[in-house]
Amino acid sequence: MRGALLRAFPILACVAASCGGGNASSSTAEADRLAAIDRAGNGEPARAPEAVVEIGLERLDVPEAGVLKGKRVGLIANGASVTSDATPSAAALRAHGVRVVRLFAPEHGLSGRLARGERVKGRADVVSLYEPGHRKPTRADLRGLDALVYDMQDAGVRFFTYISTMIYAQRAAAAAGVTFVVLDRPNPLGGDIVAGPVADLPDTILSVAPGPLVHGLTPGEMARLVQQRSSPRGRLVVVPMEGWRRDMTWQDTGRLWVAPSPSLRSAQAALLYPGIALLEGTNASDGRGTGMAFRKLGAPWARVGPLLRAADVPGVDAVPSSFTPRPTPTGPHPKFNGQRCRGVALEVTGDGVDTFKLGLRLLRALRSQPGFEWLLGGASIDTLVGTRRLRRALDRGASVAAIVASQRAGVAAWRRARTPFLLYD
């Protein structure tokens, strides 16, 4: 078992500059400029002298982690579940006397490199949590465990499936009488910005988390809130971070970004993800297949001028970009495979940028262009954001200001509801 666990966690420090995949056809100047932003946004080195944030995995000597000492545990983790010195979470736990006896794999698998939506196959020593009909642990999966540990880097957006996997697993552990332990990690978007619609469609793995689309919580905080809303509540232990503040985005943590999924290859991509990922529900490219997913967007039919105007907001730089998506091992079916796309490349250069609102501006600009289509007649975007209201507002020509205003009450209610469960100032 020990050998199997170690093989399951190769060191996959998949940083934007070194991950494989894609052949962006940007100019040299554009590539150099984006690479410089990557270096600034990722933080160099992994724990620079100014680094101030220690994650839960690095604080296994604090009292909260004592519940794990000598216990048989299951572990939900992937290749990004590492310490600042690239020690995988299974090894770090084992070094502190924790008996990791079972692994649980979320979307993208234990490696974090499987393609979006690709089935994650279980095996004797690994339980898949991303197979049809098996999105949460069963009682049999949890049998013999004293605790189930969650150590995943989240993206801070409801449709990033790891947070749904956590909630499914937390509820299953509570029903089975197994302690659920969260080793907390930063929200890369920070904890101040809350934005987007509250879901009102039936839950899918894209929409289990409560609150607006951009919820502004860490995994540990979300688990605390979910516990209070669940029955049975179960036993929850959060091993908190040290040094994280709500006003911190990833670059403020001083930590190296390790890609938690194939397309979130940099801290910049993570910042832009809440808005640019909205294009997944359309026939426009979100940059997959270029090596710059969520940092480029466009289509063969796109007009660049309206996109540049839509992206003209404080704290964001946008430049025209021409790119040709190509298949990669982690993204074998990009939109417009082999076709030249016109669009824009984006960088977040300021603080406090609401990238969900930026995405709305860009989506509205695309929606008005000939050639635009909603995928599956709109069902794709509805499922992604958990409501039909957003698409219907765009279809009737509502302004971005009007759409944001319609979401204001839900955002305010969420800010009030989450307050008792916050762990960080």
Find, among 170, 115, 147, the residue nearest to 331 by Cα: 115
Q: Pairing state of beta strands 212-214 and 195-198?
A: antiparallel
Top-confidence residue, 129 or 27: 129
| Same domain flag for 272 and 326 | yes
| 30/407: higher pLDDT | 407
Distance CA 238, CA 182 (A): 5
Q: Which two three-digit tokens encode residue 317?
A: 């730089």
Find the mean pLDDT for residues 293-307: 98
- In angstroms, what CA-CA distances link 59 with 62, 179, 231, 345? 6, 18, 30, 38
Among residues 224, 248, 272, the one where a domain terminates is 248
- Asked if 261 and 108 touch (Cβ cutoff 8 Å), the reply is yes
Amino acid sitting at position 202 = P
- Does residue 129 sit in the same domain as residue 235? yes
Confidence of residue 51 (pLDDT cuts 50, 70, 90): low
Higher model confidence: residue 33 or residue 400?
400
- Read off the DSSP letter of residue 206: T
Give the model confidence (pLDDT) of 310-323 as tens digits: 999 999 999 999 99
End residue of a domain, out of 201, 229, 248 = 248
The answer to whether the Cα torsion of 256, 261, 262, 263 is positive or negative is: negative
pTM over 0.85: yes
What mean pLDDT, rounded, does the chain reach? Answer: 89
Q: Is residue 16 part of a domain?
A: no
What three-state secondary structure class fits 390?
A: helix
Residues paired with 316 in a beta bridge:
348
The domain of 243 spans 2-10+51-248
The larger pLDDT score, comparing residue 18 to residue 34, is at 34
C-alpha to C-alpha distance for 316 and 6, rounded to whole angstroms: 41
pLDDT for position 196: 98
Sign of torsion over alpha carbons 183, 186, 192, 198: negative
Q: What is the pLDDT of residues 217-263, one digit of tens each?
A: 999 999 999 999 999 999 999 999 999 999 999 999 999 999 999 99
Q: What per-residue confidence (pLDDT) applies to 208?
A: 97
Helices within 74-228 (DSSP H only): 89-95, 139-142, 162-176, 219-228
Number of independent structural domains in the chain: 2
| CATH number, domain with residue 111 | 3.40.50.12170
Say if residue 233 is in the same domain as residue 316.
Answer: no
**91 and 207, same structural domain?**
yes
| Helix (H/G/I), strand (E/B), else coil: 56 | helix
Residue 16: predicted pLDDT: 28
